C-alpha cells in the first residue's frame, strides 16, 4: 500500500545512476535529504529574525518611532509584488525559500503571545479591583461591539459592490505535534528543573538557569493544550492551558527553592539581552511575526484586489471604532487614564499593539499585552457561536469580523472550522494592525485620543 522513504530514495538513486543502490547509499541519501530540509527551515527563520534585528537597530539609531517590523513588512510585500509583475519565477522562488520559516511561525504563533500573560500576576498587583472590573467589561463589551460593527460594515459593502465570491486560495495547515516533540521537551523540562534546584546559578544567573525549564513548561503546555479534545478547547484555549502550565511551574519551583512565585516570574521576562528569560526568547519572534504578514498578504493578493472594497472599508472602520470607542468608554467609566491608554490597542495583535502603546507616555506594555491576549481568548471561545446567533453567513464578513475583533486567536478559532474564511481572516489580521499603527503614528490622532481619555 505505501512506499517507505528509503524505497523512494533507492528508486531515485537507481534512476539517476542506472545501478541498484546499496543500503548504505540509501541511508546516506535519506540522511542528507533530512539534513537539507532542517537547514532550510533554520536558515529561512534565521534570516527573518536577522532582518527584524537589523531594522530595529537602524530605526533606533535614527530615532524613528514608527514600528521597524511594520516597515519591513511593507518592503517585503512591495518587493514580492514587483517581482511578481516582472519576474514571477523569482517571486515564487523567494516564497519557497521562506516557506519553512513561515510554517514554523504559524505553527507556534499563539505561543509568542504568552509571556506577558504569564507575568500578568505581577502586572495586576498595581491595578485596583474596581479598575480590573471596568477593564473586564471593556474587553468583553468592546470585543462584541467591534465584532458587530465590522461584520455589519463588511456585509453592507459586500451587498453594495455585489462582487461574486470565487474559490479562495488553499492555506496550508502546519503539521501536528508529534510524540517525539512531547518526550523531547519533557526531558528538557525534568533535567533543567532538577538541575536548577541543585545549581541555581549554573548558567551564570538565576534567570538563565531558570530559562530552560520555564521555556519547556510553556512549550509543553501549548502542545498538550493543542491536543485536547475540541469540546475542552472551546472552554480552555491552548494558550490559557499554556499560561497556567508556566505559572504553575514557577509556583512549584518557587515553593521548593523557597524563593517565592514573584521572583521566579521576574526571571521569565527580564528585558535584558545579556540576561534573557524564557519569555524574552518567545517575545523575540514577534518582529518576525509581523514580517510574515507580508507573505500572507502576497499569497492572497488576488483576493485582496477582487474584494478590496469590503476588506479595506470594514478594516478601516473597525480600527477607528476600536480605538476611539475604547478611549470614550474608558472616560465614561472613569478608568484611570494610564490604564485606558494601555488598553487602547486591545483588538490588535501583540506584536503591533506593543509598538502602538510605545507611542503614548505612561502606558504599561505588560498590561497591554495581557489585555490583547485576553481579548483574543474571548474571541477564540465565542466568535463562531456569536456570528451564528447574529446570522452572519457571508465568509467575508465572518472572517474580517473575527480577525478585526480578536486578532490571531480569533482567526485561529474560526478558520479551524471554516477554511473558506481563513484568507479574509489573514488579510484582516494583518491590515487591522497596520491601520491601527499608522493611525496612532499620526500626532493629530494621538492627541485626539488623549483628549477623549482626559
At 166, the pLDDT band (50, 70, 90 cuts) reads low
More confident residue, 383 or 167: 383
pLDDT, residue 451, reads 92
Residues 431 and 377 in one domain: yes
In-domain check, residue 430: yes
pLDDT, residue 73, reads 85
Give the cell for residue 140. 468583553
pLDDT, residue 167, reads 59
* Structural domain boundaries enclosing 210: 179-268
Residues 318 and 433 in one domain: yes
Neighbours of 341 (CB within 10 A): 27
pTM for the whole thing?
Answer: 0.79
Residues 312 and 441 in one domain: yes
Residues 368 and 418 in one domain: yes
Residues 346 and 449 in one domain: yes
At 24, the pLDDT band (50, 70, 90 cuts) reads low
115 pLDDT above the threshold of 80: yes
> What is the spatial distance between Cα 372 and Cα 375, in angstroms, rounded to a whole number?
5
Residues 150 and 208 in one domain: no
Q: What angle do CA 253, 210, 192 make, to 5 degrees?
A: 85
CB distance 312 to 431 below 8 Å: yes
Percent of the chain with pLDDT over 70: 89
Residues 259 and 316 in one domain: no
> What is the spatial distance between Cα 103 and Cα 377, in angstroms, rounded to a whole number?
22
Average pLDDT estimate for 422-451: 85
In-domain check, residue 7: no
Q: What angle do CA 44, 45, 46 make, to 5 degrees?
A: 95
In-domain check, residue 109: no
> What is the spatial distance between Cα 60 and Cα 65, in angstroms, rounded to a whole number?
8
**Spatial CA neighbour of 414 closest among 380, 391, 374, 390:** 380
pLDDT, residue 415, reads 67
pLDDT, residue 88, reads 92
pLDDT per residue as tens digits for the range 312-341: 999 999 999 999 999 999 999 999 998 999
SS3 call for 185: helix
More confident residue, 82 or 362: 82
In-domain check, residue 54: no
In-domain check, residue 81: no
pLDDT, residue 15, reads 41
Separation of CA 203 from chain center: 30
pLDDT, residue 324, reads 94
**Residue 343: phi, psi to the nearest 5?**
-100, 5
In-domain check, residue 56: no
**Which residue is listed with cell 480605538?**
323
Range scoring the smallest mean pLDDT among 16-30, 190-204, 369-383: 16-30
Residues 160 and 308 in one domain: yes
**Boundary of a domain, candidates 268, 286, 312:** 268
CB distance 85 to 232 below 8 Å: no
Question: String of b and e for 45-61 (b: at least 16 CB within 10 Å)?
Answer: beebeebbeebeeebee
What is the 8-class DSSP label of residue 1?
-
CB distance 414 to 399 below 8 Å: yes
- Alpha helix (H) ranges present in 109-169? 115-118, 120-123, 129-161
Average pLDDT estimate for 70-99: 91
Number of structural domains in the chain: 2
> What is the spatial distance between Cα 273 and Cα 270, in angstroms, rounded to a whole number?
8
pLDDT per residue as tens digits for the range 172-218: 667 788 889 999 999 999 999 999 999 888 887 888 899 999 999 99
Residues 206 and 230 in one domain: yes
Residues 208 and 310 in one domain: no
Average pLDDT estimate for 38-65: 90
pLDDT per residue as tens digits for the range 122-152: 877 778 888 889 999 999 999 999 999 999 9
pLDDT, residue 5, reads 37
pLDDT, residue 297, reads 79
**Spatial CA neighbour of 242 closest among 110, 341, 150:** 110
411 pLDDT above the threshold of 90: no
> Could you tell me how many residues make up the chain?
454
Residues 449 and 305 in one domain: yes
At 295, the pLDDT band (50, 70, 90 cuts) reads confident
Mean pLDDT, rounded, of the chain: 84
Percent of the chain with pLDDT over 90: 32
pLDDT, residue 169, reads 58
At 1, the pLDDT band (50, 70, 90 cuts) reads very low
> What is the spatial distance between Cα 108 and Cα 285, in angstroms, rounded to a whole number?
10
In-domain check, residue 151: yes
**Spatial CA neighbour of 325 closest among 409, 405, 245:** 405
At 13, the pLDDT band (50, 70, 90 cuts) reads very low
pLDDT, residue 170, reads 58
At 26, the pLDDT band (50, 70, 90 cuts) reads low
Residues 307 and 338 in one domain: yes
In-domain check, residue 263: yes
Most confident residue range from 6-10, 44-48, 199-203 = 44-48
Amino acid at each position: 500500500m505505501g512506499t517507505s522513504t528509503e524505497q523512494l530514495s533507492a528508486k531515485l538513486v537507481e534512476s539517476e545512476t542506472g545501478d541498484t543502490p546499496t543500503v548504505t547509499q540509501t541511508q546516506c541519501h535519506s540522511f542528507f535529504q533530512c539534513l537539507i530540509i532542517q537547514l532550510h527551515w533554520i536558515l529561512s527563520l534565521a534570516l527573518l529574525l536577522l532582518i527584524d534585528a537589523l531594522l530595529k537597530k537602524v530605526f533606533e539609531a535614527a530615532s524613528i518611532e514608527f514600528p521597524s517590523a511594520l516597515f519591513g513588512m511593507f518592503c517585503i510585500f512591495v518587493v514580492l509584488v514587483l517581482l511578481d509583475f516582472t519576474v514571477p519565477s523569482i517571486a515564487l522562488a523567494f516564497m519557497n525559500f521562506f516557506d519553512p520559516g513561515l510554517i514554523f511561525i504559524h505553527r507556534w504563533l499563539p505561543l509568542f503571545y504568552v509571556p506577558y500573560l504569564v507575568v500578568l500576576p505581577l502586572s495586576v498587583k498595581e491595578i485596583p479591583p474596581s479598575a480590573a472590573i471596568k477593564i473586564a467589561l471593556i474587553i468583553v463589551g468592546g470585543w462584541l461591539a467591534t465584532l458587530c460593527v465590522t461584520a455589519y460594515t463588511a456585509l453592507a459593502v459586500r451587498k453594495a459592490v455585489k462582487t461574486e465570491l470565487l474559490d479562495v486560495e488553499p492555506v496550508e495547515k502546519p503539521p501536528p505535534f508529534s510524540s517525539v516533540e512531547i518526550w523531547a521537551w519533557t526531558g528538557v523540562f525534568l533535567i533543567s528543573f532538577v538541575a536548577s534546584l541543585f545549581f541555581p546559578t549554573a548558567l551564570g544567573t538565576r534567570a538563565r538557569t531558570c530559562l530552560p525549564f520555564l521555556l519547556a513548561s510553556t512549550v509543553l503546555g501549548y502542545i498538550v493544550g493543542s491536543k485536547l479534545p475540541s469540546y475542552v478547547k472551546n472552554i480552555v484555549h491552548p494558550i490559557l492551558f499554556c499560561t497556567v502550565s508556566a505559572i504553575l511551574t514557577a509556583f512549584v519551583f518557587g515553593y521548593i527553592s523557597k524563593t517565592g512565585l514573584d521572583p521566579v516570574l521576574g526571571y521569565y521576562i527580564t528585558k535584558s539581552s545579556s540576561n534573557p528569560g524564557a519569555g524574552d526568547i518567545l517575545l523575540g519572534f514577534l518582529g518576525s511575526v509581523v514580517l510574515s504578514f507580508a507573505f500572507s498578504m502576497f499569497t492572497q493578493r488576488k483576493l485582496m484586489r477582487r474584494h478590496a472594497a469590503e476588506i479595506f472599508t470594514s478594516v478601516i472602520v473597525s480600527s477607528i471604532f476600536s480605538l476611539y470607542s475604547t478611549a470614550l468608554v474608558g472616560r465614561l467609566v472613569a478608568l484611570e487614564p494610564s490604564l485606558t491608554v494601555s488598553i487602547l490597542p486591545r483588538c490588535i495583535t501583540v506584536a503591533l499593539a506593543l509598538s502602538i502603546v510605545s507611542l503614548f507616555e505612561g502606558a504599561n506594555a505588560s498590561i497591554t499585552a495581557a489585555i490583547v491576549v485576553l481579548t483574543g481568548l474571548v474571541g477564540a471561545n465565542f466568535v463562531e457561536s456569536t456570528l451564528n446567533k447574529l446570522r452572519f453567513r457571508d465568509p467575508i464578513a465572518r472572517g474580517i469580523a473575527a480577525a478585526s475583533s480578536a486578532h490571531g486567536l480569533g482567526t485561529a478559532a474560526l478558520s479551524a472550522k471554516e477554511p473558506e474564511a481563513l484568507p479574509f481572516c489573514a488579510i484582516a489580521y494583518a491590515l487591522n494592525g497596520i491601520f491601527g499603527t499608522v493611525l496612532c503614528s499620526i500626532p493629530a490622532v494621538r492627541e485626539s485620543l488623549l483628549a477623549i481619555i482626559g
